[in-house]
Amino acid sequence: MMDTEGNLSTFIITLSIMLFSWIFIHRLKQRNSKGPKTWPFLGAAIEQLVNYDRMHDWMVEYLSQSRTVVVPMPFTTYTYIADPANVEHVLRTNFSNYPKGEVYHSYMEVLLGDGIFNADGELWRKQRKTASFEFASKNLRDFSTVVFREYSLKLFDILCHASYSNQEIDMQELLMRMTLDSICKVGFGVEIGTLVPDLPDNQFAKAFDMANTIVTLRFIDPLWKVKKFFNVGSEAVLDQSIKTIDDFTFSVIKRRKAEIEETEGINKDEKVKHDILSRFIELSRDPQSNMTDKSLRDVVLNFVIAGRDTTATTLAWAIYMIMTHKDVADKLYSELKRFEEDRAEEEGISLIKYHKENPESFNQKAMQFAGLLGYDSIGKLYYLHAVITETLRLYPAVPQDPKGIIQDDVLPDGTKVKAGGMVTYVPYAMGRMEYNWGPDAASFDPERWLKDGIFQNSSPFKFTAFQAGPRICLGKDSAYLQMKMALAILCRFYEFKLLPGHLVAYRMMTILSMAHGLKLTVSRRQQDS
């Protein structure tokens, strides 16, 4: 008995020494590593979990030391890149080797299904071709311009009431409502009415935000499949959120189908409406399309995340940047005033006479100004375009974008990546790297985009807010159109002031939204009060 206990004790001691020696050797090898601390089996999961709420800035710290950072995790390895040469290799040069991949698809499928942002191969190419055709349509462009102007003025009216009483508002929430209403009108031809003075509760928007947050957590939660199987914890909340989302989405599809059939029943020559969903419904009638209501549901939700969340969060960060940089606010206002005067002269409108005859018509002035903002004319607002682009450089709507790896490969900087792993380019960090933008990389400076007053583009592999290569964002022009329309109208007539003590920080989601909203007060510019 004594010998048995002694042998067991010796075995335990020997095993413990071997285990601690293994961990010690592993950590010793990490001493010269420029990446995060890793541990056997766990990889860098501990450090990543500790820094989860500030993960984008955590990556900035490592990518400022090394242009490529390898982060082992329990079931896969992430390779983060910030060098434009590596990004171009992944997004264009060897594009076919870096799809969204099965891992990413499994995380996001519950929300985005097989929509364009979550699809690869032929399914992606087919959706891309259809969407490309629609975004190039003059009818959709003109329709979008009218809708974006309409909802920007609705937001203007809400701010007008808030300015009277110095009411505190959450600008991010209002912008989310504006872009949700806009994308539902442009994308699906329906009015959902969330941007009205009484700000009605919207369960779809809440459920969509919750689902977005939880699927993002899946990327670092090794137990999410277990929780999903037993329908507990965050996965139980996700399941309920998806039910709310699907109820709304399928009702939209059903409504649009009924409206189309009713219209055709009255007038068979009536053309399908200009909204995107109507076009996809029309395409789904082709037996060879294989499109079901589930396919249409995926189309709807992919356009919602593209047209609502990304645009609203960028507008929120832009307003935050404008209000905290007085020189930028002044230059932007000057450009908008000059634009108004020049366009009014072209239209034969006497602004001085109009304003004298209508001294109290603040809303009328805004409507008149908005009427000068057309698809072509708004393109002349170069400083406004630069303000938005500079915002996207520092606060990209999609802060990280992971890709799967099909075959082993070597990146241009010599980094080896293994099949089955993930490569993630990091727009948030790329915009802050001095090796990309110079010593003032961290500064907000719209002037960096202008040459002799004219906007100058940068390489899409350096400025990656809209991705690049074959997957470059199809809605880029549409997004700029809505953002410029809204900011032009709001910044021409209002000034914004952040509430004292309000914390502005991002929330960990697939989209870089503000964790606590954007709480501020709004006042009319003195010239227009």
- Which sign does the torsion angle of CA 206, 212, 215, 216 carry? negative
Per residue in 254-293, is it b (16+ CB within 10 Å) or e — as a string?
eebbeebeeeeeeeeeeeebbbbbbbbbebbeeeeeebee
How remote is the C-alpha of 431 from its chain's centroid? 15
Query: What are the structure tokens assigned to 9, written together?
Result: 């004790």
Q: Which stretch of DSSP H or E encloses residue 64? A: none
The order of strands in the sheet holding 494-498 is 169-170, 519-524, 494-498
- At CA 113, angle to CA 508 and CA 287, rounded to 5? 155
Cα–Cα distance between 278 and 187 in angstroms, integer?
8
Strands 77-81 and 422-425 come out as parallel
Q: Which stretch of DSSP H or E encloses residue 423? A: strand 422-425
Tell me the CA end-to-end span of the chain in Å, nearest whole number: 95
- Which sign does the torsion angle of CA 245, 250, 256, 262 carry? negative
Query: What are the structure tokens assigned to 511, written together?
Result: 């989209």
For residue 6, how many C-alpha atoms fall within 13 Å in the half-sphere facing its CB? Answer: 3
C-alpha distances (whole Å) from 258 to each of 252, 255, 276, 504 are 10, 5, 16, 44
Closest CA relative to residue 91, chosen from 466, 441, 393, 503: 466
Closest CA relative to residue 148, chosen from 504, 484, 506, 428: 484
Query: What are the structure tokens assigned to 48, written together?
Result: 């990543």
The answer to whether 491 is a known ligand-binding residue is: no
Instruction: Please enumerate, by residue number, every residue annotated as part of a binding site for heme.
Output: 473
Residues belonging to the binding site are 473
